[in-house]
Structure 1
Amino acid sequence: MFTALLLTAGTSPGVSQAADPAPVLEVADPFIELHTAPGRGYPVFHVIEKGEQVELLKRKTNWYKVKAVSGETGWTKATQLGRTLQPTGLPADLPEVSHGQYLESSWRVGFTAGMFEESPSFSLTAGYRPLTWLGAELEAGKIYNESVTSDYYGANLVIEPLHQWSLTPYVLAGYSQFSFDVRQKVLLSELGDADGVTFGGGLGYYIGRNFLIRAEYRVYSVSSNSDSTGLSEWKIGLNTFF
Structure 2
Amino acid sequence: TGPGRGYPVFHAVPRDASVDVLFRRTEWFKVRTERGVEGWASQAEMLKTVLADGSPFVFSLGDRAGFTSHRGEMGLFAGAWGGANYVSGYASLSFNPQLALEGAVGQFLGRFSNGVTGDLGLTHVIVPEARASPFLMLGVGEVHTEPKATLVQATNRTESMAYVGGGVRIYLARRFFVRGEFKAHWILTKRNRNEEADEWKLGFAFFF
Amino acid at match of 2:62: V
Q: Give CA deviations for 1:178-205 in whole Å, capped at 9, x if unaligned.
A: 00112399xxx98500111010000110
AA at the equivalent of 2:186: S
Does 2:145 match 1:180? Answer: yes
Q: Is 2:66 the counterpart of 1:101?
A: yes
Change (3 A) 1:130 1:36: farther
Cα displacement string for residues 68-88 of structure 1 (whole angstroms, at most 9, x for unaligned residues): 7x9797589xxxxxxxxxxxx
Q: TM-score, normalised by structure 2?
A: 0.74
Equivalent position to 1:232, from 191, 198, 203: 198
1:4, 1:143 → 2: CA distance?
46
Rounded Cα–Cα distance in structure 2 between residues aligned with 1:178 and 1:214: 23
What are the Cα deviations for residues 39-97 of structure 1, in whole angstroms up to 9, with x where unaligned? 9xxxx9962666x9x78548xxxxx65627x9797589xxxxxxxxxxxxxxxxxxx83
TM-fit CA distance, 1:145: 3.2
- 2:123 pairs with 1:137: no
Partner of 1:2: 2
TM-score of the superposition, structure 1-length normalised?
Answer: 0.64
Q: Give aligned-pair identity as a percent.
A: 14
* Gapped regions of structure 1 (runs ≥ 5): 7-25, 59-63, 77-95
Structure 1 residues 222 and 65, CA gap change in structure 2 (3 angstroms): same
Secondary structure of the structure 1 residue equivalent to 2:49: strand
**Could you say if the C-alpha distance between residues 233 and 73 of structure 1 is closer, same or farther in structure 2, counting changes exceeding 3 Å?**
closer
Q: Who is 1:208 aligned against?
A: 173
Aligned to 1:120: 85
Q: Which amino acid aligns with 1:236?
A: L
Letter in 2 for 1:98: D
| Cα drift, residue 2 of structure 1 | 3.3
Give the C-alpha shift of residue 107 in structure 1. 1.2
Match of 1:152 among 113, 117, 124: 117
CA positional deviation for 1:124 = 1.2
Count, aligned residues: 189
- Do 1:4 and 1:27's aligned partners in 2 also have CA atoms closer than 8 Å? no
Note the C-alpha offset of 1:101: 1.2
* Cα-Cα RMSD: 3.9
